[in-house]
């Protein structure tokens, strides 16, 4: 199974979050953890980011139905 890795600029673009928001959410375990690619490089699995987005969309839609 092939995994696509996303670097920070792509994660920012997909999620709409700032760099600091991403790292804060990672620290609080409410955002997918990054994977080390080497000494000074990290990335996220595209599937993890897509799942996180889907969860946020589902939550927002369920809140609309309740509200």
Three-point CA angle 21, 34, 7, nearest 5°: 80
The span from the CA of 22 to the CA of 20, in Å, is 5
Instruction: Extract the tokens encoding 12.
Output: 């920012």
Domain residue limits, the chain: 5-66
State the pLDDT at residue 63.
78
What pTM was estimated for this model as a whole? 0.89
Q: What's the residue count for the chain? A: 67
Would you give per-residue pLDDT tens digits along the chain (67 residues)? 789 999 999 999 999 999 999 999 999 999 999 999 999 999 999 999 999 999 999 998 887 777 5
């Amino acid at each position: 199974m092939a995994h696509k890795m996303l670097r920070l600029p792509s994660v920012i673009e997909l999620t709409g979050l700032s760099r600091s928001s991403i790292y804060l959410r990672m620290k609080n375990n409410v955002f997918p953890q990054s994977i080390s690619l080497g000494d000074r490089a990290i990335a996220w699995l595209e599937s993890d980011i897509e799942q996180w987005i889907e969860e946020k969309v589902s939550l927002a839609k369920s809140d609309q139905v309740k509200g």
